[in-house]
Amino acid sequence: MNKDNIILSPAQKALRINLDREIYGSFVEIGAGQEVARQFFRVGSASTTIAKTMSAYDRDFSNAIYGKEDDGRFVSKNRLINMLNHEYSLIEERLRTEDHPNTKFFAFADTVTTIDFKKKKKGHGWIGIRFQKYSNTKPNDFIFHVRLNDQDSKLQQETLGIIGTNLIHACFFNNQSAKNILNEIYHNLSRNNVEIDMIEVVGPNFENEDNRLLSMVLVKEGYTDAVTFNTKKENKHPSDILRKKNILTLRGSFRPVTKVNIDMLKNGIEKFIEDKKVKKENIQILFEITLSNLLAEGEVDESDFLDRVEILCSLGYTVMISNFQKYYKLIEYLSVFSDKRMGIIIGADNLIEMFEEKYYRNLNGGILEAFGIIFTRDVKIYLYPFIKDQTLLNSSNIPVHPRVKSLYDYMNNNKRIIDINHSKDVLKIFSRQVLKMIKDCKDGKWEHMVPKGVSELIKDRSLFGRTNCQL
């Protein structure tokens, strides 16, 4: 048996680290005890690994040590980074490298809240490590956000202890990629225990890593359901972008984004801001791409993924990559971050599919269960027309099966479906046709079909397979 394929227990990993006299650092944990440090104390020889452990549990103590956050949150990425900055600087200050010429220093930190006794507030937190892969070198950061799914506080704390031990072990003994470190974090755990929904790596040993691709791995491997990217093309935790916002979402393949997508958004926004429950300054626009739209011959095309994120972010839009094939799943997910009025912009052709019963056979309650989720969320559907057989389809004439007609009428009569305006000159633009022209190098025929600046970006960077086109 290949020893690299053997999964060690948390205790075995902790002992392996403790017995390595070149690994030395600090543990600082807030909000869920000191479960990670406990793993190392329990197995023995901890003195060769642990320089300090601390839990600044009191908020005033925590603020005095790490500084007060602008948003007042203690479980946040900023708080975690401030913890790492402070603790690693103390290591550098107090443990002079000349006294430890072969030592690889680290600072481990987590700030976590576990499930409350009423089971209403879910456990989640930020976990990270700043570490030297080799002695006398600049450190690396490996940080991520977790959702703790165990339904008991004690179990969540135990899960946290396993996660932290796996992370430290992987960073020092896993000589592969950040993806492999990520995979090791799940050793002796499953999605039932923990969900990782944001990841970020920096440092000399991660120079060739792309955080956007790592985020896509989270979705692809089933570690989480969705990841988000801001207008600066940076991966961000969804709560940092969506928290308490009036979210307006447009789903599509965006391969590439075309003028019809922008027209949908423009007219959708016009209707959305008319809603009394929507504050213009609180609107968060979201372009969502499902993982199925990233598939090419059964595999996720990474370059194609980056092309789409690159273009959408360059236009100033926030992008979400998700595993949500059904709209009700997307709505349920967004509702975790905001209870404000939300909107989904849908083409009439997609709304027809939304009311097809075959897509809900996996649910015990069928289509009624799916729409029950939609009914209980504060969301409206903004319907963009679609031309079919020379007929303009909208909310008044959309064809739905007689069995679900009453369900459709209920939504329509309760003003959950709202028609939006359209520009006649863009309705016949289809992204698949544009993509084919791009790949076939038929310049001069497709440029007017995409938003301003997109054609230049596609040509300059040879996006979407334009490698064979002459400049």
What is the CATH number for 176? 3.90.950.20
In a domain, 460, yes or no: no
Same-domain status, 169 and 110? yes
Does residue 256 carry a pLDDT above 60? yes
Q: How far is CA 212 from CA 53, 402, 464, in A?
A: 33, 44, 18
Q: Tell me the Cα Rg of the chain.
A: 25
User: Which amino acid appears at position 263 of this protein?
Assistant: D
Residues 383 and 400: their CA atoms lie apart, in Å, by 15
Residues 419 and 347: their CA atoms lie apart, in Å, by 10
**Tokens 């054609």 appear where?**
455
In a domain, 325, yes or no: yes
Give the domain range for residue 412: 239-426
Pick the range with the lowest mean pLDDT from 4-8, 84-88, 199-203. 4-8
Residue where a domain stops, chosen among 386, 407, 426: 426
Same-domain status, 170 and 265? no
Does residue 306 carry a pLDDT above 70? yes
Predicted TM-score of the model (pTM):
0.89
Same-domain status, 199 and 116? yes
Domain with residue 343: its CATH number is: 3.40.50
Does residue 267 carry a pLDDT above 90? yes
Q: Is residue 230 within 8 Å of residue 241, measured between CB atoms?
A: yes
Task: Over range 20-26, report the average pLDDT.
Answer: 95
- Write the secondary structure of the chain as one string of H (helix), E (strand) and C (coil): CCHHHCCCCHHHHHHHHHCCCCEEEEEEEECECEHHHHHHHHHCCHHHCEEEEECCCCHHHHHHHHCCCCCCCCCCHHHHHHHHHHHHHHHHHHCCHHHCCCCEEEEEEEEEECCCCCCCCCEEEEEEEEECCCCCCCCEEEEEEEEECCCCHHHHHHHHHHHHHHHHHHHHHCCCCHHHHHHHHCCCCCCCCEEEEEEEEECHHHCCCCHHHHHHHHHHCCCCCEEEECCCCCEECHHHHHCCCEEEEEECCCCCCCHHHHHHHHHHHHHHCCCCCCCHHHEEEEEEEEHHHHEECCEECHHHHHHHHHHHHHCCCEEEEECCCCHHHHHHHHCCCCCCCEEEEEEHHHHHHHCCHHHHCCCCCHHHHHHHHHHCCCEEEEEECEEECCEEECCCCCCCCHHHHHHHHHHHHCCCEEECCCCHHHCCCCHHHHHHHHHCCCCCCCHHHCCCCHHHHHHHCCCCCHHHCCC
**pLDDT tier, 1 (very low <50, low <70, confident <90, very high otherwise):** very low
In a domain, 220, yes or no: no
b/e sequence 173-187, b meaning 16+ C-beta within 10 Å: ebeebbbebbbbbbb
pLDDT, residue 2, reads 46
Same-domain status, 253 and 386? yes
Same-domain status, 150 and 78? yes
Residues 63 and 323: their CA atoms lie apart, in Å, by 38
pLDDT in tens, 122-162: 889 999 999 999 999 999 999 999 999 988 889 999 999 99
User: Which amino acid appears at position 70 of this protein?
Assistant: D
Give the list of residues 6+ apart from residue 448 with CB closer than 8 angstroms, or none: none
pLDDT, residue 295, reads 62
Does residue 207 carry a pLDDT above 60? yes
The residue that leads in pLDDT, 58 or 107, is: 107
Same-domain status, 169 and 297? no
**pLDDT tier, 463 (very low <50, low <70, confident <90, very high otherwise):** confident
Same-domain status, 95 and 176? yes
Pick the range with the lowest mean pLDDT from 58-62, 116-120, 412-416. 116-120
Same-domain status, 394 and 257? yes
Give the list of residues 6+ apart from residue 381 with CB closer than 8 angstroms, or none: 343, 344, 346, 351, 411, 416, 417, 418
Mean pLDDT of the chain: 91
Residues 226 and 286: their CA atoms lie apart, in Å, by 12
**pLDDT tier, 471 (very low <50, low <70, confident <90, very high otherwise):** low
Same-domain status, 130 and 254? no
Same-domain status, 358 and 272? yes
Cα 247–chain centre separation: 16
In a domain, 330, yes or no: yes
Residue where a domain stops, chosen among 426, 443, 458: 426
In a domain, 218, yes or no: no
In a domain, 222, yes or no: no
**Tokens 């984004």 appear where?**
257
Q: Which residues on adjacent β-strands are paired with residue 50?
A: 25
402-403-404-409 Cα dihedral, nearest 10 degrees: 50
In a domain, 336, yes or no: yes
pLDDT, residue 298, reads 57
Cα 454–chain centre separation: 25
In a domain, 178, yes or no: yes
pLDDT in tens, 355-390: 999 999 999 999 999 999 999 999 999 999 998 888
Same-domain status, 148 and 288? no
Overall number of domains in the chain: 2
Same-domain status, 145 and 26? yes
pLDDT, residue 19, reads 96
Task: Over range 408-413, report the average pLDDT.
Answer: 93
Does residue 34 carry a pLDDT above 70? yes
pLDDT, residue 31, reads 82
Task: Over range 400-413, report the average pLDDT.
Answer: 93
